[in-house]
Amino acid sequence: MGSSPHAQAHNEKLALLSQCHSGSPMGELLRLFWHPIATSASLSVGQTQAIRVLGEDLTLYRGDSGLPYLVGGRCAHRLTQLHTGWVQGENIRCIYHGWRYDGAGQCNEAPAEGPGVAEKVRIAGYPVREYCGLIFAYMGKGEAPEFDLPRKFAFEQPGLIILARRQIWPCNWFQMVENSLDAVHVSFVHLAGKVGPFGEAVTANIPSLEYCETDAGIRQIATRGKSSVRVSDWSFPNNNHIVTPGRAKDSPWVHRGVWNVPVDDTHTMKIGVYAIPSEGAEKDKATLDHFAKYGDYNPADYHDELFNEKKWPEDPSLQLTPAQDYVAMMGQGAIADRAHERLGKSDAGIVLLRRLFWREIERLKANEATKGWRRLEEVTDLPVQGAAE
Ligand code: FES
Ligand SMILES: [Fe+2]
């Protein structure tokens, strides 16, 4: 696009999409939602973790009761990092001079200061809750919304093994969200290097695409001939609910919820749940062993190998598929320069996605109510016909 006033205004709108810090229009919009920020398994009782989410440095810790808490990253006194301190009961105590904070960020002891000081000191503190092996936080102002949108009926059915996983990629979150609404990429990216079950399942046929706005976000239907219809339900602002092939050729398909949560403008936490149908003790053990062996893979740790040597990892489902996506999305740059892209008719999902975000941002700016997104009412089967065979 040239530099006409119209083009300039459009480029400014495009630039809004990739921001996440507090005070930016998108940052404020994102702060109206619950976001997963860590796996439950990564935080034992009494442990702390330095964590960066939506451009804010924070401290995550688990109190003696087992409840997790999320407070500011630095002590208010002389700003040392709080995660280096100690968990005491449900509080966290700073390593430097012992100021102590509760799980809401309220200081309740400043030992060398005498009475009356602690109660005047407060750092950030955000509500958290655990669901499906993930710790979620609400980082907005005021009362947190009901914990409804992140829930999926498909994860709450009996007979499931629920596993959680987290990776951090050094690129902007919005290009990762856009990839969720880009069904064509599956026919190319997931054939790269070697064809995993995901690539086999969808074949290289270009799908015909349908997108529509739902109560939760966007439903995407990709049809590749009569034998393959792939449906995915994407929830505002950053969750994709998909069904993908399992560990082995005869394994049942797996419901997955993947969130792309901004760490900051150039890093994204790809965090999510695998809901794997139980197949009996022996096969379940193999599933857990498989996850233990390959689940820690993060393509960002193999960046040079992937980009320069085209060397692909061995495990198809837990390594290859994310590695293929990683190469495509990291190849767009740390923040895709959308002013220079050429969208086509197959980008209808991305166009709709951006339109929804801009609409919601405009409502927020005008102090109007934003859409009350809510989860879809029934268990959606997300049918995949024929493709699994
Ligand atoms: S810096 Fe934390 S108590 Fe002094
Ligand atoms: Fe993909």
Mutate to test the pocket of ligand 1, among 91, 99, 108, 109 (most ligand atoms within 8 A of CB): 99
Query: First-to-last CA distance in the chain?
Result: 45
Helix H or strand E segment including 289: helix 281-294
Nearest to 94 by CA among 125, 52, 48: 48
Percent of the chain with pLDDT over 70: 94
Judge whether residue 388 has pLDDT over 50: no
Q: Give me the pLDDT at residue 21, please.
A: 97
pTM metric for this prediction: 0.94
Nearest to 181 by CA among 230, 228, 136, 134: 230
Nearest CA owner, ligand 1 atom 1 = 78
Of 66-80, 183-197, 253-267, 373-387, where does mean pLDDT reach its minimum? Answer: 373-387
Question: CA 382, CA 243: separation in Å to the nearest integer?
Answer: 7
Question: CA 178, CA 338: separation in Å to the nearest integer?
Answer: 12
More confident residue, 345 or 387: 345
Which amino acid type is present at position 258? V
Distance of CA 182 from the midpoint of ligand 2 (Å): 8
Do residues 338 and 174 make contact, with C-beta atoms less than 8 angstroms apart?
A: no
Q: Give me the pLDDT at residue 198, please.
A: 63
pLDDT bracket for residue 386 (50, 70, 90): very low
Do residues 268 and 169 make contact, with C-beta atoms less than 8 angstroms apart?
A: yes
Q: Which residue has the tokens 């400043």?
A: 110
Question: CA 257, CA 382: separation in Å to the nearest integer?
Answer: 12
Provide the 8-state DSSP code for 384: B
Q: Give me the pLDDT at residue 264, please.
A: 98
- What phi, psi does 46 have (nearest 5°)? 85, 0
C-beta of 97 in contact with ligand 1 (< 6 A): yes
121 SS3 class = coil
Do residues 230 and 207 make contact, with C-beta atoms less than 8 angstroms apart?
A: yes
Q: Give me the pLDDT at residue 368, please.
A: 97
Distance of CA 198 from the midpoint of ligand 2 (Å): 9
Q: Give me the pLDDT at residue 206, please.
A: 81
Q: Give me the pLDDT at residue 251, please.
A: 85
Judge whether residue 331 has pLDDT over 60: yes
Question: CA 348, CA 211: separation in Å to the nearest integer?
Answer: 7
Domain 153-365 bears CATH identifier 3.90.380: yes
Q: Give me the pLDDT at residue 381, please.
A: 59
C-beta of 99 in contact with ligand 1 (< 6 A): yes
**Tell me: the pLDDT tens digits for 88-113?**
999 999 999 999 999 999 999 999 99
**Tell me: the pLDDT tens digits for 136-167?**
999 999 999 999 999 999 999 999 999 999 99
Ligand 1 atom nearest to CA at 95: 2
Structure tokens belonging to residue 16:
């809004």
Q: Which residue has the tokens 């002590």?
A: 75
Question: CA 181, CA 317: separation in Å to the nearest integer?
Answer: 20
Do residues 67 and 89 make contact, with C-beta atoms less than 8 angstroms apart?
A: no
Distance of CA 263 from the midpoint of ligand 1 (Å): 26
Question: CA 124, CA 149: separation in Å to the nearest integer?
Answer: 24
**Tell me: the pLDDT tens digits for 25-81?**
999 999 999 999 999 999 999 999 999 999 999 999 999 999 999 999 999 999 999
The CATH-assigned architecture of domain 36-138 is: 3-layer Sandwich (2.102)
pLDDT bracket for residue 387 (50, 70, 90): very low
Do residues 195 and 202 make contact, with C-beta atoms less than 8 angstroms apart?
A: no
- Where do the CATH 3.90.380 domains begin and end in the chain? 153-365
Task: Please state the separation of Cα 46 from the chain's center in Å.
Answer: 25
Nearest CA owner, ligand 1 atom 4 = 97
* Alpha-carbon dihedral sign for residues 202, 205, 207, 208: negative
- Where do the CATH 2.102.10.10 domains begin and end in the chain? 36-138
